[in-house]
Amino acid sequence: MRLRGIGWTVAVAFSVAACTAGGGSQPSASQPSASLPAPASAGPASPAPVPAGCGQTPVRSGGLPGWTAPAGPPSGVPYVESVEGNLVGVLFGAPLQAPAGQTGRANKILWIVREPRGGQPLSLAAQRLDGRAPELAFAAEAGSSPGEIYPSIVDVPVAGCWHVTARWNGNTATVDLLYAAA
């Protein structure tokens, strides 16, 4: 994974705008602008698995968990939920691809945490499940809003199923993310 200075600022601005804009548009390098889906409701919904998951983490589309509502995530965007049920990754960059530099797109993930951030950064450690790549790490600051969010760009060097451990303010969550070959 890598965190790019200017790219990080753009990713933060994009993710916050995408989560807070009501009826705005979401720019795309390869497609015309499209209206954002309506924010997720706080009520229960029936998320549907989509064929992009790996390991123990299915990728879902549809209603997000009710506890994510304060962050205002749009519905209809694919997402993953941690095994522990305390972290959701909204996959604005879906489908995730590796290496991202060859595609001209970014693997944008908005992390929403259930427990308070307490001003602490989110640290991610990623390891390919088959062990055929080095462990990667990065940190995201806790300065974004609304809600308990950490916007990020999570790029890995090679395709495969990556096990990600997230840590913030004494909490831990795990997800598996599938990166397709670019």
Task: Note the pLDDT tens digit of each residue in 65-93.
Answer: 999 999 999 888 999 999 999 999 999 98
Mean local confidence (pLDDT), 87-113: 90
* Domain-embedded: residue 60: no
Mean local confidence (pLDDT), 7-11: 33
* Domain-embedded: residue 49: no
Question: What pLDDT is recorded for position 164?
Answer: 98
Domain residue limits at 98: 5-20+66-181
* Domain-embedded: residue 36: no
* DSSP-assigned states of every residue in the chain: ----HHHHHHHHHHHHHHHH-SS-EE--SSS--EEPPPBPPSS----EEEEEEETTEEEEESPPPGGGGGG-PBTTS-EEE-TTSSEEEEETTPSPEESGGGTT---EEEEEESS--TTPPEEEEEEETTS-S--EEEEE-S---SSSEEEEE---SS-EEEEEEEEETTEEEEEEEEEEE-
* Domain-embedded: residue 159: yes
CATH of the domain at 92: 2.60.40.1930
* Domain-embedded: residue 41: no
CA distance 69 to 67: 6
| Structural domain total, the chain | 1
Comparing 44 with 109, the larger pLDDT belongs to 109
* Domain-embedded: residue 35: no
pLDDT bin (cut points 50, 70, 90) of residue 53 is: confident
* Domain-embedded: residue 168: yes
pTM above 0.85, yes or no: no
Give the strand pairing for 87-91 and 108-113: antiparallel
* Domain-embedded: residue 152: yes
